[in-house]
A and B are shown apart, each in its own frame.
Chain A
Amino acid sequence: MSESWPLLEVKDLRVAIPSAGIKVYPVNGISYTVKSGEVMGIVGESGSGKSMSSYAVMRLLKDPIKVESGEVLFNGKNLLSLNKSDMEAYRGSQISMIFQDPLTCLDPVFTIGEQLTETLHAHEEISDAEARKRAVEMLRSVSIRNPEEIMHNYPYEISGGMRQRVMIAIALLCRPKLLIADEPTTALDVTTQAQILRLLKRLKKENGMSMVFITHNFGVVANICDRVSVMYGGHIVEQGMLEDIFNSPRHPYTQAILRALPKSESTKGERMETISGEPINLIDAPSGCPFNPRCPFAKDICRREYPGVTAISDTHIASCHLLAGGASDEQ
């Protein structure tokens, strides 16, 4: 497999929730690829569809939420057409996922050790002793100091940072090719966040793993991602290399959100920049571009039609009428 081969290809993915006779689309036709060894960041605010799209990739959506159309190709194979047991074979061994709140995925009534060995038994023919050995090794590699002791603990007995490490250990036990990380550091202190990011970077290098990294923290994005997709209202509104997005953002939403970040040198007295308006309400979604009610540059066409994709360079695309129409886009 060559270095640039796309490991994951998401094509025009659309997720629907039936709601009071109508359908709403938390994910409304998104496409992205993740190459082998690459980290794709997905950023956006709550309700932008960033987590929902990843649940769809993992086939973890719960009824009545369904993928309505699109493809998820993993090494060329469409995961959406696999039957349940074939998908289970992929999940955990080929693709793994970690979450913001480790307590939601750790079982409170089993010890850490039982949860780790269970994962190994599910995917491999392996003896109990061998499974325990692998589990302890894995805990050590996620920088847990006393793995033998932790094996006997229940999730509630260890700290938040430790739980996050245990969850990462479970996700990486079978050396997946792709890790989907859904805000894994959002609930953590900055010091623990830095440790977890270092850990993920090290494990990625050791295992040659690719990642989809979902976050709303641009500091985290700048430090771990190779490419970035910016989501708003179920759409990817801008996508490019890290430098494209940070140094020359072209979509008004990306520009606004980057301006709203706390500045490193600011103290009290300065007003923080904000984006006016409230987040999108899917049930009462605006027609046209979802950002138009909050966009300072919105024109009539923005309220009527969703903009097509404009290629800004080989690596950088955005969906905005201002770019497509050749209107003045220097802000």
Chain B
Amino acid sequence: MSSEEMLVVKDLKKSFRHGKGKKSKPVPAVDDVSLTIYKGETLGLMGESGCGKTTFGRTVLRLIEPDSGELYFKGENITKANMRPLRRKMQIVFQDPMGSLDPRMRIGDIILEGINAGGTYSRQEQHDRLMELINKVGLSAEIADRYPHELSGGQQQRVGIARALAVQPEFLVCDEAVSALDISYQAQIINLLREIQEKDKLTYLFISHDFSVVRYISDRICIMYLGKVMELGKTSDIVSHPLHPYTHLLMSAILYPDPSQRQIEDDPGEEEVADLSIPEHGCRFQARCPYADDVCRKDMPEFKDYGEGHFCACHKCRDIFG
């Protein structure tokens, strides 16, 4: 990881309209998010479904156009730029590998399409490059003649990665790239992504709702809730010393495979379902926060640095977690 900036996001906003006809109103999915992703690092972006993490990932690639804010890629303002030449540098791997591979194309042709989008190559060069990519993602050569449905989920995801790498990108968004896979294949894909990153000096934005996976791959972790960044910091700091009550809630809900410490009580009482609508005033997390008081219901907390790049947006975190 270096201090060279790969992607700078400033005050990014994106709303979607919710409801029917005249009653529809804009609901912010990404609300004033600013952050920097450095060259060669993996920034893990996590939060529950609906927190805006996928919208963020697509908006920084301009697959969705932002309402306002600015995007800089390697120092260049790309907020309004023609994305076509930039697509080679910025790629995405999707959650559902089957849904993102054309069922009627052979694997070799799927990857070749990517290779040829990145430049003009002779037959021999195309073939060499294809074999190099198939080898790089840990598949064997004969897979080039197969169709997507003949592959397992883990193999399909390797093809998705090979296709993204075909244009030799510098920045890769992985949107829930391992969430649909069985545990043993999740580990294989995570290890593969890390090997590729070391070899090719890639920069990743790794989006996932699964904390146990995010922390294996991320240098820093960013936690979003209802469109806002709640906490951002080095993985080791977030894991050992989380500051935001929401981060604590997410971490405590991870179930550990240890029958001697059951986290779900044997005789649980009834529980209320949290209100997930965006409050008019104050902190976004107030309805679910056990520490919320009048200040939290009135003012939006400031996103502050609590030392060594460990940021948190909470009125109370100093008092509660020191």
Hey, which chain A residues are within 8 Å of B257, CB to CB? 218-219, 221-222, 246, 258, 261
Hey, which chain B residues are within 8 Å of A205, CB to CB? 266-267
A-B contact pairs, 14 of them (CB 8 A): A45-B185, A141-B270, A189-B253, A198-B265, A198-B268, A217-B255, A218-B183, A224-B264, A260-B184, A260-B187, A262-B212, A267-B236, A268-B235, A279-B185
- Asked if B121 is at the interface of the complex by the 8 Å CB criterion, the answer is no
A260, A268, A271: the one within 8 Å of B183 (CB): A260
Name the CB-closest residue of A to B218.
Answer: A268
Hey, which chain B residues are within 8 Å of A256, CB to CB? 184
Segment with Cβ contacts to A, from B57-65, B97-105, B152-160, B301-309: B152-160
- Asked if A60 is at the interface of the complex by the 8 Å CB criterion, the answer is no
Give the distance in Å from the alpha carbon of A71 to the alpha carbon of B273 in the complex: 41
Binary per-residue interface labels of chain B (192-227) against chain A in the complex, 1 for a CB within 8 Å, 0 otherwise? 001000000000000001111101111100000000
Minimum C-beta distance from A241 to chain B (A): 9
A192, A194, A242, A243: the one within 8 Å of B263 (CB): A194
* Interface pair A216/B264, CB less than 8 Å apart: no
* Interface pair B184/A45, CB less than 8 Å apart: yes
* Interface pair A278/B182, CB less than 8 Å apart: no
* Interface pair A273/B276, CB less than 8 Å apart: no
Name the CB-closest residue of B to A275.
Answer: B184
* Interface pair B49/A198, CB less than 8 Å apart: no
Give the distance in Å from the alpha carbon of A266 to the alpha carbon of B186 in the complex: 15
* Interface pair A219/B255, CB less than 8 Å apart: yes
User: Taking each of B155, B211, B257, which has the highest tally of chain A beta carbons within 10 Å of its own beta carbon?
Assistant: B257
- Asked if A3 is at the interface of the complex by the 8 Å CB criterion, the answer is no
- Asked if A257 is at the interface of the complex by the 8 Å CB criterion, the answer is yes
Give the distance in Å from the alpha carbon of A205 to the alpha carbon of B267 in the complex: 7
Hey, which chain A residues are within 8 Å of B218, CB to CB? 268
Interface residues of A (CB under 8 A from B): 45-47, 141, 143-145, 159-162, 189-195, 197-199, 201-202, 205, 216-224, 242-243, 246-247, 256-258, 260-262, 264-268, 270-275, 278-279
Range of interface residues on B (Cβ < 8 Å): 35 or more
- Asked if B249 is at the interface of the complex by the 8 Å CB criterion, the answer is yes
Minimum C-beta distance from A42 to chain B (A): 14
Hey, which chain B residues are within 8 Å of A162, CB to CB? 273
Give the distance in Å from the alpha carbon of A202 to the alpha carbon of B262 in the complex: 15
Name the CB-closest residue of B to A219.
Answer: B255
Minimum C-beta distance from B60 to chain A (A): 22
* Interface pair A274/B182, CB less than 8 Å apart: no
* Interface pair B255/A274, CB less than 8 Å apart: no
Hey, which chain B residues are within 8 Å of A161, CB to CB? 273
Other than A161-B273, A246-B257, give 18 A-B pairs with Cβ distance below 8 A. Answer: A143-B273, A159-B276, A162-B273, A189-B49, A189-B209, A190-B211, A194-B255, A198-B264, A201-B264, A217-B183, A219-B257, A223-B264, A258-B257, A260-B184, A266-B216, A267-B239, A270-B216, A271-B191
* Interface pair A268/B217, CB less than 8 Å apart: yes
B185, B249, B265: the one within 8 Å of A191 (CB): B249
Hey, which chain A residues are within 8 Å of B152, CB to CB? 46-47, 278-279
* Interface pair B48/A191, CB less than 8 Å apart: yes
Give the distance in Å from the alpha carbon of A161 to the alpha carbon of B253 in the complex: 15
